[in-house]
């Protein structure tokens, strides 16, 4: 049994629901929030302790895992504190907002012998399990092109929270806070990025950070992908299409759990469709979103084979955001991977 402290009762509410669904794997011992009433508001018969200071969770010898659901500017310092206290860490996105801070986390994790699991819960769901099954069965062939639309609606009510829409508080805009999960799905299925070009702008809200972007990617395997981002859509919709050599995979428009809704998997050669359908019918279901994400972490911590998100995958995500902001500001086509000589190694904040 892994005993957990959740820091932050905002998105932490969704994490808690997933822990409740996995009572044989996890036990939430503490919820920390500066607003004790908010922490109490997410209790539904749970026996966790409510604290208002992070240090209380770090000092508790019964806590194995710190689940960080705090504003982005707190992710790095609290992750480092948790590792220093000998705790494993789950950290909401973004893990960090500079490659330099990722290196600090990497070193702290190695020194402490503890694990860091960046949050990319979009990877889990029945449709995505089906796509992985099709790839494993050799029914997709090589990636060719991909298209992602992160078209969501964010207005004054969303930005009424003081730290949102600011570089100091949110550390970035739609690229960082909204499309980061879809970009993770892109690299998960289409492979790592070799180079990219990007444009970003602020058109929808009176904020410091960007709320629209257009990005083009060339993957290391030669595939081409595009990402269209706006926070000025009428509704929250995500559309994903991955075109492979032998098959095209198209998502529904579910914004927060792309793997939960049915996808279309269409073979390029009609004679192959029965093989695709047979594979889909025999793919075991998997938990959706946070429940699948946490299940993989429990497997990893138990020494079992797992698909848990690794610290290095979180590091790659931070490097990708770094490259996007560099490309948007410079107009350059930016090649990856990046190293410590990159001009935004210490951070992309203006």
DSSP, res 222: S
Task: Report d(CA 9, CA 70) in Å as an integer.
Answer: 8
Task: Give the residue-averaged pLDDT of 300-318.
Answer: 96
Do 198 and 272 reside in the same domain of the chain? yes
Q: What are the angstrom distances between the C-alpha of 113 and each of 20, 107, 248?
A: 28, 10, 42
Question: Is pLDDT of 118 > 90?
Answer: yes
Q: What are phi and psi of 243, to 5 degrees?
A: -105, 120
The predicted structure's pLDDT at residue 58: 98
Do 53 and 99 reside in the same domain of the chain? yes
Weakest-pLDDT range from 41-45, 88-92, 190-194: 41-45
Q: Which of 73, 102, 121 represents a domain boundary (last residue)?
A: 121
Strand partners, 227: 148, 215
Task: Give the residue-averaged pLDDT of 21-35.
Answer: 97
Do 145 and 273 reside in the same domain of the chain? yes
Whether residue 249 lies inside any domain: the answer is: yes
Task: Give the residue-averaged pLDDT of 279-283.
Answer: 96
Task: Give the residue-averaged pLDDT of 144-149.
Answer: 98
Whether 146 and 226 have beta carbons less than 8 Å apart is answered as: yes
Task: Give the residue-averaged pLDDT of 221-232.
Answer: 98
Whether residue 324 lies inside any domain: the answer is: no
DSSP 4-36: EEEE-SSTHHHHHHHHHT-TTTEEEEEEE-SSH
Alpha-carbon torsion (39, 102, 106, 122), positive or negative: positive
- Domain with residue 108: its CATH number is 3.40.50.720
Whether 326 and 332 have beta carbons less than 8 Å apart is answered as: yes
Under the banding of pLDDT at 50, 70 and 90, the label for residue 341 is very high
Q: Which of 287, 308, 340 represents a domain boundary (last residue)?
A: 287
Do 52 and 179 reside in the same domain of the chain? no
Question: Is pLDDT of 230 > 90?
Answer: yes
The predicted structure's pLDDT at residue 69: 98
Under the banding of pLDDT at 50, 70 and 90, the label for residue 202 is very high
In the chain, DSSP finds a helix count (H) and a strand count (E) of 11, 14
The predicted structure's pLDDT at residue 285: 86
Whether residue 322 lies inside any domain: the answer is: no
Integer Rg of the chain from CA? 20
Number of separate domains in the chain: 2
Task: Report d(CA 75, CA 94) in Å as an integer.
Answer: 8
Do 167 and 277 reside in the same domain of the chain? yes
Question: Is pLDDT of 119 > 90?
Answer: yes
Mean of per-residue pLDDT scores for the chain: 97
Its domain, for residue 72, covers 2-121
The predicted structure's pLDDT at residue 293: 97
Do 136 and 282 reside in the same domain of the chain? yes
Residue 276: half-sphere exposure toward Cβ, Cα within 13 Å: 19
Question: Is pLDDT of 299 > 90?
Answer: yes
pLDDT in tens, 312-332: 999 999 999 999 999 999 999
């Amino acid at each position: 049994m892994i005993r957990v402290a959740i820091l932050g009762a905002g998105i932490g509410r969704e994490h808690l629901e997933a822990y409740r669904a996995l009572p044989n794997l996890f036990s939430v011992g503490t919820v920390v929030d500066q607003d004790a009433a908010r922490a109490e508001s997410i209790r539904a018969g749970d026996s966790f302790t409510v604290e208002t200071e992070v240090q209380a969770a770090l000092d508790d010898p019964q806590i194995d895992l710190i689940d960080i659901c705090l504003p982005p500017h707190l992710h790095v310092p609290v992750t480092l504190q948790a590792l220093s206290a000998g705790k494993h860490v789950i950290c909401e996105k973004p893990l960090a907002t500079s490659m330099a801070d990722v290196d600090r986390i990497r070193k702290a994790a190695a020194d402490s012998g503890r694990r860091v699991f960046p949050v990319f819960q979009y990877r889990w769901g029945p449709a995505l399990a089906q796509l992985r099954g099709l790839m494993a069965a050799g029914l997709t062939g090589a990636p060719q092109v991909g298209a992602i639309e992160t078209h969501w609606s964010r207005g004054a009510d969303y930005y009424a929270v003081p730290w949102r829409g600011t570089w100091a508080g949110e550390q970035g805009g739609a690229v960082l806070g909204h499309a980061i999960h879809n970009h993770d799905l892109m690299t998960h299925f289409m492979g790592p990025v070799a180079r990219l070009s990007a444009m970003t702008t602020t058109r929808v809200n009176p904020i410091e950070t960007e709320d629209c972007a257009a990005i083009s990617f060339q993957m290391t395997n030669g595939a081409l992908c595009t990402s269209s981002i706006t926070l000025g859509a009428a509704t929250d919709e995500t559309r994903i299409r991955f075109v492979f050599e032998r098959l095209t995979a198209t998502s529904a428009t579910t914004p927060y759990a792309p793997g939960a809704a049915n996808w279309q998997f269409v073979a390029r050669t009609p004679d192959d469709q029965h093989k695709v359908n047979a594979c889909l019918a025999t793919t075991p279901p998997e938990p959706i979103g946070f429940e699948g994400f946490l299940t993989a972490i429990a497997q990893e911590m138990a020494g079992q084979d797992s698909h848990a998100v690794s610290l290095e995958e979180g590091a790659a995500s931070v490097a990708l955001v770094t490259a996007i902001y560099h490309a948007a500001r410079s107009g350059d086509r930016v090649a990856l991977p990046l190293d410590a000589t990159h001009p935004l190694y210490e951070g992309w904040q203006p």
